[in-house]
Structure 1
Amino acid sequence: MVPEYYESSVVDIYEKLPVPFGLVRFGVAPDHPEVKNVINAFTQTAHHDRCSFYGNVTVGKDVSIEELKQAYHALVLTYGAETNRTLDIPGKNLLGVYSARMFVGWYNGLPENKDLNPELSSETAVILGHGNVALDVARILLSPIDVLKKTDIAGHALEAIATSKVKRVLLVGRRGPLQVAFTIKELREMINLPDTRPLLNPSDFMGLKQAVKDLPRPRKRLTELMIKTALEKSSGKEVERQAAATKEWGLQFLRSPLEIIPSNDGKRVAGIRLSVNKMEGLGESAKFVQTGDVEDLECGLVLSSIGYKSYPIDPSVPFDHRLGIIPNNLGRVLHASGLYCSGWVKRGPTGVIVTTMHDGFETAETVLGDVRSGLLDVSASKGGSKVIGALLKQRGIRPVTFPEWEKIDNVEVARGEQAGKPREKLLDVQQMIEVASQ
């Protein structure tokens, strides 16, 4: 027999933008359409008669946490890690220095980043970071334009990359080959990128063959692929492919940014000064220590991919500023009855979509467990979206429903068909609302 609260529970989703899917829409690289297939599962859920989507509603601004708590029995915060860890070194504000988060938002059509207009007029770009986002950015910068034309990359980004002068991308990390944060899939894509050759320094990988034997299998396979690429000579068609390549990318290890070197006029990037580091300790917990030696790299573009960060949404919600998360136990916010959290704001900005989905399942089980145990009192009815809808109407906020999002979706797909792409995203929030209202 199905408990009554399963049959009568209603889930309302509030989203800041008029469009759903968050990081799947605005974070996943445009040349990874298979990853975006999870949207189909999300859409199926959104079509459920007890699930409603309300876009264009900013929680904490348009409606408060306290107002939501009054209207619902349980409030689950899943607002992710919307800001990034800042690059706090001299020269960080020069033209040509951007966060990877902003750059990804720019090529993925995130409204707040549509006017970024990054500087792509130099041959060499430096990306600070050795995670999957860093490799995504490098791959988009170096991908053949004919490949990108077939994706849902934003039109303005496609035009800019088509005329980009960037031919060399160097990915710089503070630690060594055994501590990189990217995965083998992303590395393999970079190695096989058309018209592009890898530049891996053999000296960085000397002696590692013995060290990899006892590593966990994913780390072992990843390191072995780097070693093979760096130390083993290519043969046959691969030699010809690399020799004919007009672009290149490389991994630089044991380097930390010290300052951005300005151009002669003091306005734009001319290079970056790096500290040369050494490692202390073993494995993924090893620490880097600066040696006092420095190294300069000439470049005209610096992209900082050193991590994402969550922010406190409301003073009433507990927040751990050091860890950048909402303190919780299996998704149950500590010392805050009726409040729950999931995703990156729950455990920090790590993992992929599948990780986050399992994380959501865990939080959902916690909510249901609290209902079953009586810890979460659902005996009295609450107004839900009727109450919140009335408040938003008073404040002149116009929510966008899921059927209205599907109007936006249809327009974007139609625009994409005209351009020979799967989708051409609307970039302006007001335009989205106008389309939704038709």
Structure 2
Amino acid sequence: MTKLRLAIVGAGPAGIYAADILLKAERNFDVSIDLFDHLPAPYGLVRYGVAPDHPRIKGIITALRDVLDRGDIRLFGNVRYGTDITLDDLKKHYNAVIFATGAVHDADLAIPGIELEGSYGAARFVSWFDGHPDVPRTWPLEAKSVAVIGNGNVALDVSRILAKHADDLLPTEIPANVYEGLKASPVTDVHVFGRRGPTSVKFTPLELRELGELNDVDIIVHDEDFDYDDAARAAVASNKQVFVIDKVLNQWRKRETGNASRRLHLHFFARPVEVTDDGNGHVGGFKYERTAPDGQGGVVGTGEIREVPIQAIYRAVGYYGSSLPGIPFDKKRGVIPNREGQVLWKGEPGFESSTASQQMYGVYATGWIKRGPVGLIGHTKSDAMETVRHLINDVGNWWRPESPSEESILELLDERGVAYTDLDGWHRLDQHELALGAEQGRVRVKVVPRHEMVEISRAQVPAEL
């Protein structure tokens, strides 16, 4: 009987779902799966890309944990693809690899002044307040007035965390350094800008409602943004999600404001034009063009330019994938070129093009690195099913490794001195963080420094409080 030795690079939802789907799939061969991640802990953006005050994320983590805890998938954390293991290593020890490395960097916003001091990518800020081990422990929170560019869930997460009082985050797993940074923030006003109107936003009703529950924060909306055209009215009438969003926003229009110490302003029909300099190389203002409905669900510029004084700006206009050594990469889209998860190339590893046509046998992709940074968990599951289906059908084109034993990869990592973490190590770290939280009357307190995560996971120091 044929046996598939599979490596999956990326232990976030995309990688874990792919492993789970393959193990449950109808097939006529055995499967052995090793899951690799550059971080010492699993779960990817569920652990490091979602605001800590989202309790519903716990349900996703529970589902992912249940998959890993079955015991039929090996986990190798703190292993960097391209450094600790290479494509040649994978070919030597496995029949195939699925890349599920996601998209963790900020997409660019090409407007003048975006490079000024005080201009930040939202993804990096999210990594900071989520305790990512590879982000500095401090963050410059010195602005009283802040702009956030974008109308998706990440924009709302960033805006909410900036506007929310730090003490209201204490029940969450927010790290101590993040609490201290937010506690000292002098912010009074957070401005959120979207190019289109209220009926074209990309955030979900749940995210929006959470803004209205903030303590001592006024939500400011502007009547001029609600002069809908026929296309907008049709969207409200035909789409339940748009209907709810419109209802929430219109309720906020009736709210009394002016008593809170902080304000969160929602600006629609605002196309970014320029970040202005305060004269010292620092962000001083944000210019935008007022847009208007075009009658077909889009917008057109009006020529009217407005400016809001700010001291910091966060771009939340999307994520962008990272290229991987030896693997083709489409620089325009920030993805691995593929056909339904089968990686495509022109015969030369590392080329940068979106015009690949030839299958790169043994190499697959799933998740955001496959399709781009769009879609939620449901999309990730269907994505993985598509990729796994091709992997199963490609049995005749799998690699033929010279050293496929499960022990051989352990020997390789040990030989190279890689301080990898495993599933038992994650359990140790998980219990340690839960215990830190219990001591403070909280659910969890994350361990942030990478070396501490590794030491606790590998039981190199007592996991004592």
Q: When the two structures are superposed, what TM-score results if normalisation uses the length of structure 2? A: 0.83
Query: Residue in 2 aligned with 1:319?
Result: 329
What does 1:369-408 correspond to in 2, within 5 Å? 369-371=393-395, 375-377=396-398, 383=404, 385-408=406-429
Q: 3-state SS of the aligned residue for 1:244?
A: coil
Tell me the residue number matched to 1:222: 245
Q: Distance in 2 between matches of 1:406 and 1:422?
A: 16
Give the match for residue 368 of structure 2: 344
Q: Deviations over 1:88-119 (max 9, x none)?
A: 43433433221110110110001122334122
Determine the structure 2 residue equivalent to 1:260. Answer: 275
The answer to whether the 8 Å contact 1:171/1:252 transfers is yes
- Measure the CA separation in 2 of the matches of 1:7 and 1:49: 19
Instruction: Tell me the amino acid that sits aligned with residue 220 of structure 1.
Output: F
Q: 2 CA distance for matches of 1:322 and 1:281?
A: 30
Match of 1:273 in 2: 287
Three-state SS of the structure 2 residue aligned to 1:11 is strand
Amino acid at match of 2:305: V
Q: Match for residue 95 of structure 1?
A: 117
Q: Which residue of 2 aligns with 1:355?
A: 379
Q: Within 1, Cα distance between the matches of 2:302 and 2:242? A: 27
Correspondence for 2:235 among 168, 189, 212: 212
Identity %: 32
Between the aligned partners of 1:213 and 1:34, the Cα distance in structure 2 is: 26
Could you tell me which of 378, 385, 392 is aligned with 1:368? 392
State how far apart, in whole Å, the 2-side matches of 1:114 and 1:421 are. Answer: 24
Partners of 2:94 and 2:400 within 8 A in 1: no
With 140-149 and 130-139 compared, the bigger mean Cα shift is at 140-149
Q: What stretches of structure 2 of length at least 5 have no aligned partner?
A: 1-23, 345-358, 460-465
Whether the aligned pair in 1 keeps the contact of 2:118 and 2:282 (CA below 8 Å) is yes
| Unaligned ranges ≥5, structure 1 | none
Deviation (angstroms), 1:48: 3.0
The corresponding residue for 2:36 is 14
CA shift for structure 1 position 296:
1.3
Q: Which has the higher helix share?
A: 1
Alignment partner for residue 328 of structure 1, among 324, 338, 343?
Answer: 338
AA matched with 1:54: F
Give the corresponding residue for 1:296. 307
Aligned pairs for 1:112-123 (under 5 A) are 112-119=134-141, 121-123=142-144
Q: In 2 relative to 1, CA 267–416 (structure 1 residues): closer, same or farther, beyond 3 Å? A: farther
TM value normalised by structure 1: 0.88
CA shift, 1:213, in A, is 4.9
Distance 1:380 1:414 in 2: 43
In the TM superposition, 1:140-159 aligns within 5 A as 140-159=161-180
Once the two structures are superposed, the pairs formed by residues 38-187 of structure 1 within 5 Å of their partners are 38-119=60-141, 121-187=142-208
The alpha carbon displacement at 1:292 in A equals 4.0
Shift of 1:40: 2.1
Provide the C-alpha distance between the structure 1 equivalents of 2:435 and 2:117, rounded to a whole number of angstroms.
36
Question: Retained in 2: the 8 A contact 1:127–1:305?
Answer: yes
**1:339-369 CA distances to partner (integer Å, 9 max, x unpaired)?**
1111101111012233323322332333234
Q: CA deviation at 1:299?
A: 1.2
1:279 Cα deviation after fit: 4.6
User: How many residues are paired up?
Assistant: 420
Give the superposition deviation at 1:28. Answer: 1.5
Residues 63 and 369 of structure 1: CA distance in aligned 2, closer, same or farther (over 3 Å): same
CA contact (8 A) 2:92 2:401 kept: no
